[in-house]
């Protein structure tokens, strides 16, 4: 007899998941870390210190608040936050009434805030390639999954709410 958790390992997601290519927080963290290493090894550019720090601080606070609101909304709906686990409910209220991906908007905001606060230009250079991986390796897969799982309810939601902002 097998344990229920032994049916799927972290390397092989269960059938009822979006099968994302990379765990989004890992994508953000790894890209940011690579950017910091590159900034240290091959420094490029300097950001204006005071404006960068002020913008970084404001963006950090706003993005952290959006992440908390999004997470709380998903928890209240009783669904999984991790895209490697099944989605149990289609959430369309709270921040999901303004963006289909508020957690990713928050993550990207935190990423940019970190770049500004650390005065690191390389993470900003890596930003668009990272967003491309996020779009095609995560979001497109999640949208196909949600469309299959929730059908008409998700198809009605998509045109009403923007993907990003």
pLDDT in tens, 155-165: 999 999 999 98
Q: What radius of gyration, in Å, describes the C-alpha atoms of the chain?
A: 18
59 in a structural domain: yes
Mean pLDDT of 50-62: 97
Beta bridge partner(s), residue 12: 9
Mean pLDDT over all residues of the chain? 92
15 in a structural domain: no
135 in a structural domain: yes
111 in a structural domain: yes
Beta bridge partner(s), residue 9: 12
Mean pLDDT of 63-84: 97
7 in a structural domain: no
102 in a structural domain: yes
Tell me which residue range forms the domain holding 126. Answer: 46-160
Mean pLDDT of 55-75: 98
The tally of CA atoms less than 13 A away on the side-chain side of residue 11 is 0
CA 131/CA 5 separation, integer angstroms: 32
Residue 42: predicted pLDDT: 97
28 in a structural domain: no
Residue 3 — very low, low, confident or very high, per pLDDT cuts 50/70/90?
A: very low
35 in a structural domain: no
Residue 7: predicted pLDDT: 40
- Whether 85 and 19 have beta carbons less than 8 Å apart is answered as no
* Token representation of residue 113: 């805030």
Q: What domain count does the chain have?
A: 1
Q: Could you give the residue ranges of the DSSP H alpha helices within 42-90? A: 49-77
Residue 2: predicted pLDDT: 34
């Amino acid at each position: 007899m097998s344990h229920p958790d032994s049916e799927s390992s972290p390397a092989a997601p269960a059938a009822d998941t979006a099968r994302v290519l990379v765990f989004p927080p890992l994508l953000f963290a790894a890209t940011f870390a690579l950017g910091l290493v590159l900034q240290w090894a091959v420094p490029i550019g300097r950001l204006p210190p005071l404006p960068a720090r002020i913008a970084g601080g404001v963006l950090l606070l706003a993005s952290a608040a959006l992440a908390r609101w999004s997470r709380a909304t998903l928890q209240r709906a009783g669904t999984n936050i991790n895209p490697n686990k099944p989605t149990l409910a289609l959430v369309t209220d709270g921040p999901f009434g303004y963006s289909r991906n508020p957690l990713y908007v928050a993550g990207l905001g935190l990423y940019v805030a970190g770049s500004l606060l650390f005065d690191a230009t390389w993470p900003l250079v890596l930003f668009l390639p990272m967003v491309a991986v996020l779009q095609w390796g995560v979001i497109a897969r999640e949208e196909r999954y949600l469309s299959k799982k929730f059908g008409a309810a998700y198809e009605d939601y998509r045109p009403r709410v923007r993907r990003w902002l």
